[in-house]
């Protein structure tokens, strides 16, 4: 945010500025069919990279799948862009699941991050080792493999935005793992064009605490700065205005709690929410999380459709927010004060007494719920060492469009140190 309090705009000299509104040409309709009331279109569109061999005979094209309800309602539908994780593929099953929820969904392959036996587009990564050039910025900044995926993601969004059946004022983005990172980054570039976003595990601030920091730190300092400037989602998150929810794993092998918190803290205007699942690595096993879907649709989590309906259908959809956290060292108690707690909300908290343990190996134990009201919850820890990490949250029913789904909102991970009668709880 600049000195005037306004959201920072994308500078015209930015690497991806030329691609923000460019609508790529669809080069081939591979297949189009209707199945059980859903129209599924498989197609390819021109990538920004142009040709990728020395003879300039092989053109880069991105494979994508679009799914939408076949029924005609007379009004435009909300749109959702779905990003796969690393070593994945276009999430066709998820796109169909979103279409069953009433959305127009588009899911592209992300060049450079596709399982080798799943590649259906054409790019410079065919026949190459997965993850090559992940952090390369020489001989030029476009040498980085991430460039191809960002440009493909922007092209996919621009296509979705101008589809005749899509309401451009109700657009969302969701992604898992590396797709969660891309969700975060693109929302920074697209600012007010995205109304809601959901990131599962992935974030920015790679150097604040991710498995990737070691590889970044091996780069010469000037190359590291170039990579972080252009490709780290944290350096663009202060432009995010979408209602944004992180579902994070407290023991994640890739994106550790400090990187989630740092990315969240850089967001300025967005209604921003987060929740950590304890003792989970690249999973989210709280109610409404991964593997707990009851609708039969292949979206990433049960919570997502309710979140997007809530945020895209309502002018001012809100979820509980953390107003403040208070602590009592003598009683070893923490109170979390929310903006409100919906009826049926259940509060919970977890702690880990071994603060030296790596995030992947921490054992999170439940804290006692002492008291819960309609706006706050008081938690108590057992007798512990002088320092510990902890986080809290609430699980509550969110009713949308005639259905009810579990939703989770919480704090970032806090670090507490007991010093005589005073307790400090800065977020990490």
pLDDT band for position 25 (50/70/90)? very high
Cβ atoms of residues 146 and 132 within 8 Å: no
Q: Can you give the pLDDT at residue 294?
A: 43
**Which one, of 246, 146, 234, lies nearest residue 196 by Cα?**
246
Residue 56 confidence (pLDDT):
62
pLDDT greater than 50 at residue 295: no
Q: Are residues 337 and 411 in the same domain?
A: yes
CATH number of the domain enclosing 76: 3.40.50.1820
Which residue, of 270, 293, 313, is where some domain finishes?
A: 313
The pLDDT assigned to 130 comes to: 86
337 DSSP 8-state letter: E
Same-domain status, 307 and 326? no
Same domain membership, residue 309 and residue 334:
no
Same domain for 419 and 277, yes or no, is: no
Q: Where are the beta strands (DSSP E) in 305-386?
A: 322-328, 333-338, 346-352, 365-366, 368-372, 376-380
Among 127-136, 177-186, 202-211, the range scoring the smallest mean pLDDT is 127-136
Res 290: pLDDT? 84
Q: Which two tokens stand for residue 425?
A: 């709880």
Q: What is the model's pLDDT at position 425? A: 58
Residue 309 shares a structural domain with residue 326? no
Whether 326 and 260 map to the same domain: the answer is no
**Which residue, 281, 313, 345, sits at the end of a domain?**
313
Angle at 271 between CA 193 and CA 268, to 5 degrees: 80
Question: Does residue 5 form part of some domain?
Answer: no
CATH of the domain at 327: 2.60.40
pLDDT of residue 383: 78
Q: Is residue 11 part of a domain?
A: no
| pLDDT band with cut points at 50, 70 and 90 for residue 292 | very low
Domains: count for the chain: 2
Domain assignment present for residue 2? The answer is no
Clarify whether residues 295 and 326 are in a common domain.
no
Handedness of CA 107, 109, 113, 117 (dihedral sign): positive
What's the pLDDT at 221?
97
**In this prediction, what percent of the chain has a pLDDT beyond 70?**
91
Task: Choose the final residue of a domain: 313, 341, 375.
Answer: 313
> Of 131 and 169, which is predicted with more confidence?
169
Q: Are residues 328 and 251 in the same domain?
A: no
pLDDT(330) > 70: no
Query: For residue 3, what are its two tokens?
Result: 């000195």
226, 301: one domain: yes
| Range scoring the smallest mean pLDDT among 167-181, 185-199, 284-298 | 284-298
SS3 58: coil
- Pairing of β 77-83 and β 403-410: unpaired
To the nearest whole percent, how much of the chain has pLDDT over 90? 73
Q: How far is CA 347 from CA 338, 350, 415, in A?
A: 11, 11, 19
Please check whether residue 10 lies inside any domain of the structure: no
Does residue 350 register a pLDDT over 70?
A: yes
Query: Strands (DSSP E) along 146-249, which ranges?
Result: 166-176, 196-200, 243-249
In a domain, 3, yes or no: no
Residue 12 lies inside a defined structural domain of this protein: no
Q: For residues 61 and 167, state if they share a domain.
A: yes
Q: Are 259 and 249 in contact (CB under 8 A)?
A: no
- Note whether 224 and 339 are same-domain residues: no
Predicted local confidence at residue 387, as pLDDT: 85
What mean pLDDT is predicted for residues 174-179? 96
pLDDT tens, position by position, 33-76: 999 999 999 999 998 765 666 656 678 899 999 999 999 888 99
Band (pLDDT 50/70/90 cuts) for residue 223 is very high
Burial 283-311 (b: 16+ CB within 10 A, else e): bbebebbbeebeeebebbbbbbbbbbbbb
Give the tens place of pLDDT for each residue, 354-397.
Answer: 888 999 999 999 999 999 999 999 999 987 767 899 999 999 99
pLDDT tens digit sequence for 76-116: 999 999 999 999 999 999 999 999 999 999 999 999 899 88
Is 9 inside any structural domain?
no
Domain holding 155, by residue range, is 17-313
Strand partners, 175: 83, 199
Whether residues 263 and 405 share a domain: the answer is: no
Q: Does any domain span residue 7? A: no
């Amino acid at each position: 945010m600049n000195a005037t309090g306004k959201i920072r705009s994308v500078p015209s000299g930015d690497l991806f500025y030329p691609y923000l509104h460019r609508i790529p040409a669809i080069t081939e309709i591979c297949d189009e069919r209707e199945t059980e009331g859903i129209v599924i279109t498989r197609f390819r569109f021109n990538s920004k990279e142009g040709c990728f061999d020395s003879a300039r005979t092989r053109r880069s094209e991105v494979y994508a799948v679009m799914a939408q309800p076949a029924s005609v309602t007379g009004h435009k539908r909300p749109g959702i862009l779905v990003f796969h994780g690393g070593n994945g593929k276009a999430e066709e099953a998820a796109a169909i699941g979103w279409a069953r929820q009433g959305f127009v969904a588009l899911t592209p392959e992300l060049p450079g991050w596709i399982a080798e036996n799943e590649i259906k587009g054409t790019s410079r990564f065919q026949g190459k080792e997965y993850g090559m050039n992940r952090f390369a910025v020489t001989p030029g900044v476009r040498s980085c493999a991430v460039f191809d995926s960002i440009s493909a993601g922007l092209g996919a969004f621009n296509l979705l935005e101008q589809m005749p059946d899509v309401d451009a004022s109700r657009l969302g983005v969701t992604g898992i793992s590396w797709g969660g990172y891309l969700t975060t980054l693109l929302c920074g570039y697209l600012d007010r064009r995205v109304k809601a976003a959901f990131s599962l595990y992935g974030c920015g601030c790679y150097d604040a605490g991710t498995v990737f920091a070691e590889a970044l730190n091996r780069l010469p300092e000037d190359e590291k700065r170039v990579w972080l400037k252009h490709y780290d989602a944290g350096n663009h998150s202060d432009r995010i205005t979408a209602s944004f929810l992180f579902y994070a794993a407290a023991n994640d092998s890739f994106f550790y709690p400090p990187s989630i918190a740092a990315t969240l803290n850089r967001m300025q205007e967005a209604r921003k929410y987060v929740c950590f699942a304890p003792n989970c690595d690249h999973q989210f096993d709280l109610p409404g999380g991964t593997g707990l879907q009851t609708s039969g649709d292949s979206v990433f989590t049960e919570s997502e459709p309710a979140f997007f309906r809530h945020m895209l259908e309502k002018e001012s959809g809100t979820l509980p927010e953390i107003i403040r956290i208070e602590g009592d060292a003598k009683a070893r108690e923490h109170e979390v004060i929310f903006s409100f707690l919906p009826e049926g909300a259940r509060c919970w908290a977890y702690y880990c007494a071994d603060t030296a343990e790596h995030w992947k190996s921490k054992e999170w134990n439940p804290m006692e719920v002492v008291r819960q009201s309609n706006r706050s919850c008081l938690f108590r820890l057992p007798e512990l060492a002088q320092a510990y990490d902890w986080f809290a949250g609430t699980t509550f029913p969110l009713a949308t469009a005639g259905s009810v789904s579990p939703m989770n909102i919480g704090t970032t991970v806090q670090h507490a140190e007991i010093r005589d009668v005073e307790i400090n709880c800065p977020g990490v």
